[in-house]
Amino acid sequence: MNNLCTEIGYHSLFKHGEQLCGDNVEVVEQGENSFVMVLADGLGSGVKANILATLTSKIISTMMAANMSIEDCVSTIASTLPVCEVRKVAYSTFTIIRVVDNEEAEIIQYDNPFVIFMRDGKSVDYPRTAVEIGGKTIYKSKISLQENDIFLAMSDGAIYAGVGKYMNFGWQRENIVDFMEALYHQSYTAKALTTLLLDECDRLYGGEPGDDTTVGAIKIRKREPVNMLFGPPQNPEDVNKMMALFFSKEGKHIVSGGTTSTLASQYLGKPMTSVLEYIDPEIPPIGKIEGVDLVTEGVITVSKVLTYAKSYLTNNEYYGHWSVKNDGASQIARMLFEQSTDINFYVGRAMNPAHQNPDLPISFNIKMNIVDELQKCLKQMGKKIKVSYF
């Protein structure tokens, strides 16, 4: 076990006019620190391709996660996939990236564009061994991992982007490498890398992709724990216990809630100052306590964070707001979505009688729901979450 962890992001552009995507990505975890990502591109487009890609990626990821050999996976697929009436073949290309204990990556590739491997922002060539399995040539590689290593898997829609529109032959893998190297920044998450590359493909396609285009990014990064305290404990006698556990944790500390931050300030013996500036009239101002990385108001701020989290997982429409603004909710969003890898929530279940007013959108139930939903969103972002209730 090392101090690294793996971040995964993937997304697809659908072929213009199609309602289903003929590419599919599956991720299966193998215990805490290992997983398999499979990106499959089914022959053709639409429903047929979608079925082929889904079957291929599901079968391979499940079998690989159960430690079965690639030979077994390929022969299973060959005998399972429905044969296309028109083309008389059952066919789906695939890329498999398996990360073991955050120490080693195994890459298995069949007919998709070769995975781009970047170390410290530069694309690096890696050895590939060709193996014949059932008449298919499959390339295998193994790479020992370091912090900031990036793997980009893609379907061929990515390299065809621009064909006949802005470029005669589309942009090639080398062009994608140049593009990614030019915009590389260490702070970009796997999700951000995926979005940046797909946006460029979409632009080259003139907004009407000629093929399903999928990018799956994997980034190896250092673990960054963030701890968040939200609400005072149900039993006032537990304040010291809750604070002691919270502040003894490694990593950044966020305290959310008026009463909660007052308690934290008493526990630390440091005065709290509140910043008066309303950056965003909807979000109460932040405060400051020495020894705490961020102090915010509670339920209004955190429900805004939840709104940002939900959009981050879909169309990411608020990114332009929270990625740059300095109000409490935007700051929390950046710390949780972008910087952290492991998040520990310390949730207090005290009920503020003043909040149990039907006119106020901040009752106890609403607060607990926000915590639940936020956790779910963060899990979907690939964060490791622990929640302790007090």
Partner 1 sequence: MKVYVCVGSSCHLKGSYDIINLMKENIAKNGLEDTVELSGAFCLGKCTEGVSIKVEDEVICGVSKENFNEIFDKYILKK
For strand 287-289 and strand 272-274, is the pairing parallel, antiparallel, or unpaired? antiparallel
- The distance of closest approach from Cβ of residue 357 to partner 1 in the complex, given in angstroms and rounded to an integer, is 8
CB atoms within 10 A of CB 185: 9
> Whose Cβ is closer to partner 1: residue 130's or residue 276's?
276
Question: Which residue lies nearer to partner 1 by CB, 148 or 274?
Answer: 274
Q: How far is the CB of 291 from partner 1 (least distance, A)?
A: 16
Closest CB 233 distance from partner 1, rounded Å: 16
Of 47 and 366, which has the nearer Cβ to partner 1?
366
Which of residues 249 and 355 has its CB atom nearest to partner 1 in the complex? 355
Shortest Cβ distance from residue 226 to partner 1 (Å)?
A: 21
Count the alpha carbons within 13 Å of 24 in the hemisphere toward its beta carbon. Answer: 23
For partner 1, the closer of residues 83 and 354 by Cβ is 354
Nearer to partner 1, 64 or 229 (CB): 229
| Cβ closest to partner 1, residue 2 vs residue 357 | 357
CB count in 10 Å sphere of residue 311: 16
In angstroms, give the least distance from the CB of 157 to partner 1. 47
Q: How far apart are alpha carbons 383 and 225 in whole angstroms?
A: 10
Residues in contact with partner 1 by CB under 8 A are 257-259, 261-262, 272-276, 278, 281, 284-285, 287, 295, 297-300, 352-355, 357, 360-362
Closest contact distance (angstroms) between CB of 65 and partner 1 is 44
Give 134 or 361: the residue with its C-beta nearer to partner 1.
Answer: 361
* Dist CA 77 CA 56 (whole Å): 6
Nearer to partner 1, 198 or 299 (CB): 299
**Cα separation, 255 vs 160, whole angstroms:** 48
Q: What is the nearest approach in angstroms of partner 1 to the Cβ of residue 278?
A: 5
Q: How far apart are CA 209 and CA 189, in angstroms?
A: 24
Nearest CA among 74, 75, 23 for reference residue 51: 23
What gap in Å lies between CA 142 and CA 127, rounded to an integer? 8
Q: Pick between residue 224 and residue 297 the one whose CB is nearest to partner 1.
A: 297
Residues 6+ apart with CB under 8 A from 356: 363, 364
